Structure 1
Amino acid sequence: MSLIVQKFGGTSVADPEKIRAAARRAIRAQKQGHRVVMVVSAMGKQTDELLRLASAVSDKPPAREMDMLLSTGEQTSVALVAMAIDDLGAKAVSLTGGQFGMKTDNSYSKARIRSIDTGRIEKHLDEGHIVVAAGFQGIDDDLNITTLGRGGSDTTAVALAAVLGADACEINTDVDGVYTTDPRLLPEARRVDVISYDEMLELASLGAGVMHSRSIEFAKKFGVPIHVRSSFSDRDGTMIVAQPESESSPVSGAALTKDEARITVLGVPDVPGISQTVFSAIAEKKVAVDMVVQNIGVEGKADVSFTVPGDELELTLSALDSIMEKIGATGLTHDADVSKVSVVGLGMASQKSVAARMFRALGDAGVNIHMITTSEIKISALVPRDQAATALRAVHEAFELHERPADAKTWAAIQADSSREADVDDVVARLQNDALEALTLTGISIVEGQARVTLDGVPDQVGVAADMFEEIGRAGIFVDMIIQGYDGVDGSTSVSFTIHDNDLDAGLKVAKSICEAHSMRDVRGAAGITKLSVSGIGLRSHTQVGTVLFEQLADAKINVEMIATSELQVNVVIDSKRGDDAKKCLQAAFADALG
């Protein structure tokens, strides 16, 4: 008999009628021959009300007691849902996180799952019950109640689907699937029938609110198919699986992160260890760094630019103040009035001129680009906040995301291909080592035979990036990494990109013509570089990855020339002579994560 995990968010159980509707959906699935586990969030705004009560009695409530308090929201919901199922004539049992065997570490409010003992759930399923499990919560080794943090119920649902060997995990929510972009921002956004784990991870990290990235990490790690659908209709939603919707489309979705802040540390010595010092100071403040750009140094000095959430700008600046003298930086600039527009798609890894197409769309819409970072499946551009909506519409239209691709997979094909891709025995084996939510790296690799071209003094003007990369595309040069950041000289920017070393002469020739056409300051190029990539699941939620990477390279006296980051990879450019050394030291440092 197949097993389905059904998750219902707060809006799906916000009142008695919605609770009964959720109960009816679970009973219907059971009558269709499935064993059913429900994972339920707190009702509606109940968590907000509990937070209000806590603030009314304490200015600084202890973290342990906050988890004790907030966990009661889910406990209320599961009991009411089980009562509704019983009233409708079916058998149900409600279980808290501790009761169904969710063991976590003791990091209150952001606990990580260590293991799940499925024995009690399976016993109740064998007895014909619908199991109603509390999302968002677990217990530590001392039986203290812990909570998983933002998106915790999604994470609970996918984790249970993984350890129970569920055939699918349904996320029932107030939207009917995943869209090509936020339909509240663009009404023409299209619901997609299928999206890949990697694409969804990138979109989740960019602010797509349908699901939290931790739950997608679980699904990818253990091959759990996820069906995102509306709680209020029987319409098919979106399947999140290994494959993309279309093999031919370079882009599957676009996202806007509106509240960003850009910081540039100017004139840092271009020597090993500087990046590690900068980002360790920020990590100590628990600030999540997003776009990271370190461009090629000039006369032994480099600039490091990155973005942080707008509401964490002041905290980040205070962290940097403490190290500016230590690292020998010449200054610091910041801009709190920027937004990030991104496109994501597995197809862009094998198609040329995707970046040029995006930059042309922004240029034609009159949108200026302040920063650029790229990865194999994502391109992000930092733009003025007052042009953010225009930028999102421009890239959405440029890639025709409102149109269904001709080779889009059908629902029948998706369901046929969405069987479990991970062996349940493998999941159980990992549980025995408390490794359910451990960092999982899929590889540490080097790409040799690379060259780098840098244009200095790039005018901070509309359309320049489009002109540059269209010209490079016409020359038949395939570009890998692209980064653009402030160069701290005259308010202009610098742009660097990597190409195959066989294309260096041609790349420099094109770059010099671009330099002359736009009155840029200089063109520089170098062969003999290597791209070092750390790839994995959970690079964003396991914030120590970047810190360890920079520490290891600094200890080995390996200088980092360029940096570009994404949800799935951290990429750095180093001297090719040190490529093997770098790979070996990182393989040793991450041996446990590589398994």
Structure 2
Amino acid sequence: MSLIVQKFGGTSVADVEKIRAAARKAIRAHTQGHQVVTVVSAMGKNTDRLVELAYELNERPPAREMDVLLSTGEQVTVALMAMAIESLGYKAVSLTGAQMGIRTDNTFTKARIQSIDTQRIQGYLDAGNIVIAAGFQGIDDEFNITTLGRGGSDTTAVALAAVLGADTCEIYTDVDGVYTTDPRLLPEARRVEVVSYDEMLELASLGAGVMHNRSIEFAKKFGVPIHVRSSFSDTTGSMIVAECESESSPVCGAAMTKNEARVTILGVPDVPGTSLDIFSRIADRKIAVDMIVQNMGTEGRADLSFTVPNSELAVTLEAARDAIEKIGAQGVSYDENVSKISVVGLGMAQQTGVAHRMFSALAEAGINIYMITTSEIKISALVPRDKAQDALRVVHNTFKLDSVAEDARNWSRIQHDRSQTADLQSVVATLQDDTLEKLTLTDIALVPDQARITLLGVPDRPGIAADIFADVGKSGIFVDMIVQGYDGEDGTTSVSFTVPKADYANSRAVAEALCKKFNLRGIEGADDIAKLSVSGIGLRSHTSVGTIMFRTLAQAGVNIQMINTSELQVNVVIQSDKAAETERLLRETFAESLRS
């Protein structure tokens, strides 16, 4: 008998009538011959009200007691949902996280799932019950109640689907699927029928609220197909699977992360270990750093820029000032009025000119770019916050995201293919290591024979990035990493990009022409570098990955020339003569996390 896990969010169970509607959806799946596990969140604004009560009593409520308090919201909903199903003539049983055997670590308010004992759930299913499961919660080894943090009910649902070998995990929400961008920001946003795990991971990290990144990490890790559907209609929704919607389209979605802050550490000594000193202090404060740009230094010093959520700027600056004192940097600057605009798509890994199209579109709209980072499937640009909405519309229109590609995959065919090919027994067999949410690295890759070009003193004005990469593109040079960072007090920027070593001479000639054309301060270059990439599942939620990587390089005396990051990778550029040994050291360091 097939098994379906359903999840209903807070807006889908906000009142009695909505709980009845959710109960009917669970019953309909049950009468169609499926075993059904239904995961529910707290009703509507119930969690917000509990938080308000806590802070009325205590300005700094203990994390343990917050978990005890907040877990009650889901317990109310599971009981009411079970009562609703019983009233309609079907058998149901409600289970808390503890009763389901969801074991977590002891990190209160942000716990990670370590294991799930499926015996009790399966027993109730085999007896003909619809199981109503409390999302967002579990217990640690000391039987303390723990909660999973933001998006915890999504994580519970996908984790249960993984360990139970479910055919699919249906996420019911107040939207009818995954859109090319937030439809509340752009009415022209289009619902996509299919989106890949990697694309959804990037979009979730960029603020696409329909799914939380930890749940997508689970789905990718264990091959769980996710079906995002509306609680209020029978629209087909969107499937999140391994495949993308279209192989011909370079971009599947665009996103705006509105409330970002840029921090720049000025005059960082260009020696091994400085990145470790900075980012270890930030990681210790559990702050997720997003865009990281380290450009080549001059006169033994470099500037290091990165972004954090605006709400965490004060704590980040505290950590940054501690690091400055330790490493002897020259100072720190910040800008709290910036937003990040990103485009995501598996197709851009095989197509050239995507970055140029994005930069040109922003230039034509008169929107300045403060920072740039790229990965194989994402390009992000930091722009003024008051221009962010316009920037989102511009890039959405540029890549024609409101239109369906001719080769777009059909939803029903994807669903059929997944159900036919998923080897559920082998998936379940991988879940016996007692750490379901442990970091899983998929690859540590060395790309040798690379070269770097750095343009110094680039005017900080709209269109400059588009102009630069238009000329680079005309020369037929394939560009890999692009980073644009803050370059100091004179208001200019620096732009670095990497190319194959074989293209270095041509790239240098183009750079010299650009230097004259735009009256740049100068160029730097090197043809003896290599790129090292650590790729995996959970890089954003496991904030220590970058710290461990930087520590390994520092201990080996390896200097980092460039850095960029994404949801799926941490990339560094280093001297080529140390690359092979550094790759070996990273493989040893991450041996337990590296998937064989």
Task: Give the TM-score taking structure 1 as reference length.
Answer: 0.99
Shift of 1:325: 2.5
Distance in 2, matches of 1:511 and 1:422, equals 50
Aligned to 2:170, the other structure's residue is in SS state: strand
Report whether the alignment pairs 1:50 with 2:50.
Answer: yes
Say whether the 8 Å CA contact 2:286–2:543 is kept in structure 1: no
C-alpha deviation, 1:511, in angstroms: 1.3
Contact 2:371 2:483 in 1 (8 A): yes
In 2, Cα distance between equivalents of 1:18 and 1:526: 62
Using the TM superposition, give the Cα deviation of residue 425 of structure 1 relative to its aligned residue in structure 2, in angstroms.
4.1
Q: Does 1:162 align with 2:162?
A: yes
Asked if the contact 2:165–2:428 (Cα under 8 Å) also holds between the matched residues in 1, the reply is no
Per-residue CA deviations over 1:453-507 (Å, capped at 9, x if unaligned) read 1100000011010011111111111100000001215110000000001111111
Tell me the equivalent position of 2:266.
266
Give the corresponding residue for 1:408. Answer: 408
The answer to whether residue 542 in structure 2 is matched with residue 563 in structure 1 is no
- Within 1, Cα distance between the matches of 2:182 and 2:549? 34
The SS at the match of 2:497 is: strand
Q: Is the 8 A contact 1:378 1:566 kept in 2?
A: yes
The offset of 1:574, in angstroms, is 0.4
Cα distance, 1:435 vs. partner?
2.2
By how many angstroms is 1:420 displaced? 7.5
**Alpha-carbon separation, structure 2, partners of 1:554 and 1:422:** 42
Structure 1 runs, 4 residues or longer, greater than 3 Å off: 420-431
**Retained in 2: the 8 A contact 1:113–1:436?**
yes
Instruction: Please name the residue that 2:586 is paired with.
Output: 586
Partner Cα distance (1:491, 1:339) in 2 = 19
Alignment partners' CA distance in 2, 1:2 and 1:103: 25
Structure 2: distance between partners of 1:464 and 1:208: 29
Distance 1:267 1:423 in 2: 53
Q: What secondary structure is seen at the aligned counterpart in 2 of 1:591?
A: coil
Residue 196 of structure 1 corresponds to 196
Structure 2: distance between partners of 1:208 and 1:149:
17
Retained in 2: the 8 A contact 1:135–1:152?
yes
Offset at 1:54? Answer: 1.3
Normalising by structure 2, what TM-score? 0.99
Is 1:67 matched up with 2:50? no
Deviations 1:258-314 (A, max 9, x none): 101111111111110000001111122222111000001112111100011111111
- Relative to structure 1, is the Cα distance of residues 284 and 420 closer, same or farther in structure 2, using a 3 angstrom cutoff? farther
Number of aligned residue pairs: 595
Q: CA 1:115/1:341 → structure 2, altered by over 3 Å: closer, same or farther?
A: same
| Counterpart amino acid of residue 307 in structure 1 | T
Q: Judge conservation of contact 1:341–1:380 (CA < 8 Å) in 2.
A: yes
1:431, distance to aligned residue in structure 2 (A): 3.5
> Residue 266 of structure 1: SS of its match in structure 2?
strand
AA paired with 2:303? D
Distance in 2 separating the partners of 1:436 and 1:325: 39
> Is residue 12–residue 173 contact of structure 1 (8 Å, CA) maintained in 2?
yes
Contact 2:446 2:532 in 1 (8 A): yes
| Structure 1 pair 98–421 and aligned structure 2 pair: CA distance change class (3 A) | farther
Following the alignment from structure 1 to structure 2, what is the Cα–Cα distance between the partners of residues 276 and 411? Answer: 45
User: Aligned residues: percent identity?
Assistant: 68
Superposition CA RMSD, Å:
1.1
Q: Which amino acid aligns with 2:341?
A: V
Q: Is the 8 A contact 2:164 2:428 kept in 1?
A: no
Q: For residues 171 and 480 of structure 1, what CA distance do their matches in structure 2 show? A: 36
The AA in structure 2 aligned to 1:32 is Q
Kindly report which structure 2 residues correspond to 1:87-102, keeping only aligned pairs within 5 A, or say none. 87-102=87-102
- Measure how far apart 1:429 and its partner are: 4.0
Deviates more, 1:423-432 or 1:375-384: 423-432
**Which residue of 2 is the match for residue 505 of structure 1?**
505
Gapped regions of structure 1 (runs ≥ 5): none
Correspondence 1:243-322 to 2 at 5 A: 243-322=243-322
- How big is each residue's C-alpha offset from its partner over 1:417-466, in whole Å with a ceiling of 9 and x where there is no partner? 22386644444444332121110000001001110011000000110100
The answer to whether the 8 A contact 2:205-2:567 is kept is yes
CA distance in 1, matches of 2:55, 2:528: 58
What residue in structure 2 maps to residue 365 of structure 1? 365
| SS at structure 2 position matched to 1:44 | coil
Matches within 5 A, 1:35-434: 35-419=35-419, 423-434=423-434
Map Cα deviations across residues 313-337 of structure 1 (whole Å, 9 max, x no partner): 1111111112213211112211111
Change (3 A) 1:422 1:330: farther
Question: Match of 2:479, SS?
Answer: coil
2:268 aligns to what SS in structure 1?
A: strand
